[in-house]
Amino acid sequence: MKKMKLAKISVLLFFIAVCTNTSVAQGKIRVKETHGDLFEQKGRGFIDVVELPNGGYMSLSVGSAGGAVSIGSFIHFVQYKALYYIQRYDKNLDLVEQKQLDIDHLGKNLAFEKLVKFQNEFYVFSTFVNKKNKKKYLFYSKLNVEKMALEGSFIKVAEVKDPAAKTGYEESSFDISLSKDEKYMVVFGKDAEPIKKKSKSFFGKSSKQSKIGTYDFKFTFWVLDKDFEIVNYEKNYAVTLKESSDKFYVRDFAVDDKGAIYILGKNNVVDELTRAEVKSNKRATWVDINKSAFVLEKINSDGTTEQYITPENDLFVDMNILFDKKGNINLVGLNGEQVYAKLATTGVSRIVLDNDNLDEISNVNDNFTEDVLENVNDIMESEKAIDNMKNGNRKGRIQKKAKKKLAKMTPEEKAYFDIKKRAALNVNSIAFSGLDENGDAMIVLEEQHLEIVTTTYTDANGRTTTTTTYYYHYDDLIFTKFIGDDVVQNYYKKSFVSINAPLQKSMDVSLKNGELTVMTQGHIVKSDGDLTKVRDAELKAFSRSEKIPGMKRKYFTYRKTVNEDTILAPAQNGKKVVWYKITVD
Amino acid sequence: MTRIILFFCIGITLNAFSQKDLPTTDSNAKKYLDDGKNTDADADIRIAVTSIVTGFLDLAYEQRINHTYSVELGGGYQFNRGIDVFKLVNELEFFPYDEVLTKGMGFSVTAKRYGGKEAISEMTFQALTYRNRNSDFETYSYNAQDIFYTFGWKYLLSNSVSAQAGFNAGLRLAKYAQTGTAGIEDVKKTGFYGGFSAGFGYYIKY
């Protein structure tokens, strides 16, 4: 499995995606762009970059050793091993030193899991699958930043069941999260489970995914205090609802400053319609979304639990957990409406819950405004004409055309045409959510969709070739802010297409003084405090005209917001690297 | 008094049950990393399967120097005439090839470099080998000195049983020498040597 992952990473890194990029903003901002010196990196792709207490930076990159040869379709010689490298830079992002980070222990290959800054120290978490014990173990070791090496022993923290690449099993996984004050750490573990034969979710996507987030609501967790002592633990924990056999899927989890953990699960209840029902109702879809609620379960350190379920009749597309300064829980979510098999996002909501008993303190909902939808859904004049015609206005040439278009529409097309005026069709998840200094919640959404185009060519000899091209669209942004009981909204128009390779990350967001800063593909976008204006700046770093001596072309495959004002992004061409530092004034 | 003691005992028991049985972190990583597999082997004793085709039974001993380099010493005994493609290519008309093999021996020295600091376990390697094989027939002898580069793969099939496969390419210095009849001079040939080799071994941890 590790080999497969490496191969996938290599393919992604070597793949040159052809992209197009356009954008429209309501004003301009000033951005400072500097870069460090050119150097040859060890490894291929960056997996993390952090700011060091002394003002410099440290990055981690991954490469591989080994090789593969295939003879025909049956004989394959394959041996790969992931190699990790650590780089240290000064405050100008000039390379100071780089070396291999050896995470092997006692002759065993451990896999890098995560770099975690906890209690002002850096720790490397790594995993090992023990085939004999059929378990995957999670270890941590302290990283000495000065020596750029692990020091001390490897300490085992957690374990999950793993039948070690046995076919028919989903991969086991761990996930790590810290409390806001960094006093507690929670480790979630999911056993490798047999793949269920029927693995389609109601969105039509396969539910076979490797990370926590899409599985049934059963997991193990470990809560560790600042001394790495386990203070709370539950094995195979399951959230259950009284008198309900509904299934849950973990969507988010968090640990608060008191060591209590919160699990946010999505509860889908989908009726599968019979052939007769589909026929009699003239439905093109085979499902009926009865419920798309979220369940929040709080597990206190003494083992007691509290539960909150979102209002039964409300359909939610996505939801995140945030903690305010008082420790109260803010559930920020997307409201939805069913259109055939799809749940279309019609608005945003914020539910504030009391930290002690999860009692609802406030619940604010708002639909997207007409202005936002008109712009993000690109509602054309001709479409407005159809709308006018439906409302009884039948004058003019445009209306005539509209009438013809309306007559040709299938019931499903008509349904999508109608929902376009109430929903952001290509928004299915929250890209960013956060609380500002005043406790106001902000949500950033991005329109994303995949377009698959299959083309068949026939050459002069009559040979037919079929090619499939995947267009990954990353379009307009929607900004929403909850100020008390009011919701303000704005948008940023952009269009970005990555061909045949999805972006690892489409945007980076930071929140400071109530203002959002978003780094998109080639632009920095900034909103003011009450979202009245969204301004942008084009990044020179991403421009082809901005040349780096010794580097013919630049590719950006990774970037990270290291603090509220600074985004770091490496420009790469093969092994040559230059780190850019982008600071927003 | 008995009641008080009884209530006290029940109280202690209930308290014990109410306490959560929490696991602890463990610094003894060996306990969890020990999967029985000899991935950190010091040496490998190996038999070359593909050499059997050439009539040789080759045994090799590989010793790890550090996590990147190893050296290998090999010895071979020829039990059969076998099929040596590179010998057939260079066959000389005046030598009596149908003669019976009387004795065949060989030895080899190899230096190996492994990727990813994985010597000598599961990883790809590059190797440079010098091999000397001598085959004595009734009236002549054939000596082949091969110097070749190998790109190969090492696998751990079970806890200690290893497999090695590799593609070789190099030079062969061959010498035909008449031993039975006087008057015919030795013939030296230089040519390409290459191909595929594979073998099975056993990892040793000292």
**Residues A211-236 pLDDT 10s:** 333 445 578 899 999 999 999 998 88
Q: Note whether B124 contacts A130, CB cutoff 8 Å.
A: no
Give residue B198's pLDDT: 95
Of the candidates B26, B37, B124, the beta carbon closest to that of A66 is on B124
In whole angstroms, give the CA distance from residue A323 to residue A332.
11
Residue B66 sits at the chain A interface (C-beta within 8 Å): no
Is the pLDDT assigned to residue A382 strictly greater than 90? no
- Is residue A473 within 8 Å of residue A487, measured between CB atoms? no
| Residues of chain A positioned with their CB less than 8 A from the CB of B28 | 156
Is residue B63 domain-resident?
yes
- Domain carrying residue B180: 40-204
Residue B116 sits at the chain A interface (C-beta within 8 Å): yes
Give residue A219's pLDDT: 81
Is residue B25 domain-resident?
no
Residue B99 sits at the chain A interface (C-beta within 8 Å): no
**Residues A21-63 pLDDT 10s:** 566 666 788 889 999 999 999 888 899 999 998 889 999 999 9
Give residue A124's pLDDT: 95
Is residue B12 domain-resident?
no
Is the pLDDT assigned to residue A128 strictly greater than 90? yes
**Residues B63-113 pLDDT 10s:** 999 999 999 999 999 998 888 777 777 666 666 667 788 999 999 999 999
Is residue B31 domain-resident?
no
**Residues A278-312 pLDDT 10s:** 555 554 444 455 567 788 989 988 888 888 988 87
Is residue B18 domain-resident?
no
Query: Across the A/B interface, how many CB contacts are shorter than 8 Å?
Result: 98
Give residue A481's pLDDT: 95
| Residues of chain A positioned with their CB less than 8 A from the CB of B25 | 155-157, 224, 228-230
Give residue B8's pLDDT: 54
Of the candidates A106, A224, A303, the beta carbon closest to that of B33 is on A106
Report pTM. 0.80
Is residue B53 domain-resident?
yes
Is the pLDDT assigned to residue B169 strictly greater than 60? yes
DSSP string, A224-263: E-TTS-EEEEEEEEE---TT---EEEEEEEEE-TTS-EEE
Give residue B105's pLDDT: 95
- Among A149-153, A379-383, A435-439, B157-161, where is mean pLDDT lowest? A379-383
Which among B31, B124, B126, B155 is the top mutation candidate for probing chain A, defined by the most A β-carbons within 10 Å of its own β-carbon? B124
Question: For residue B16, what pLDDT band results from cuts at 50, 70 and 90?
Answer: very low
Q: Note whether A137 contacts B32, CB cutoff 8 Å.
A: yes
Is residue B183 domain-resident?
yes
Please name the amino acid found at residue A407: A
Is residue B5 domain-resident?
no
- Mean residue pLDDT across chain A: 82
Q: Note whether A108 contacts B35, CB cutoff 8 Å.
A: yes
Question: For residue A457, what pLDDT band results from cuts at 50, 70 and 90?
Answer: confident
* Number of compact structural domains in chain B: 1
Largest Cα–Cα distance of chain B, in whole Å? 119
In terms of C-beta density within 10 A (0-12 exposed, 13-18 middle, 19 or more buried), how is residue B10 classed?
exposed
Is the pLDDT assigned to residue A389 strictly greater than 70? no
Which one has a higher pLDDT value, B59 or A502?
B59
- Least CA distance to B40: which residue of chain A? A107
Q: Note whether A232 contacts B34, CB cutoff 8 Å.
A: no
Q: What is the CATH number of the domain that holds B63?
A: 2.40.160.20
Is the pLDDT assigned to residue A11 strictly greater than 50? no
Question: For residue A4, what pLDDT band results from cuts at 50, 70 and 90?
Answer: very low
In whole angstroms, give the CA distance from residue A62 to residue A382.
51
Q: Note whether A67 contacts B151, CB cutoff 8 Å.
A: yes
Could you give the count of Cα atoms lying within 13 Å of A576 in the half-sphere of its Cβ? 11
Task: Give the gap in angstroms from C-alpha A174 to the nearest C-alpha of chain B.
Answer: 16
Is the pLDDT assigned to residue A510 strictly greater than 90? no
Task: Give the gap in angstroms from C-alpha A66 to the nearest C-alpha of chain B.
Answer: 5
- Tokens for A110, please give them: 């451990």
Task: Give the gap in angstroms from C-alpha A148 to the nearest C-alpha of chain B.
Answer: 18
Of the candidates A64, A105, A230, the beta carbon closest to that of B33 is on A105
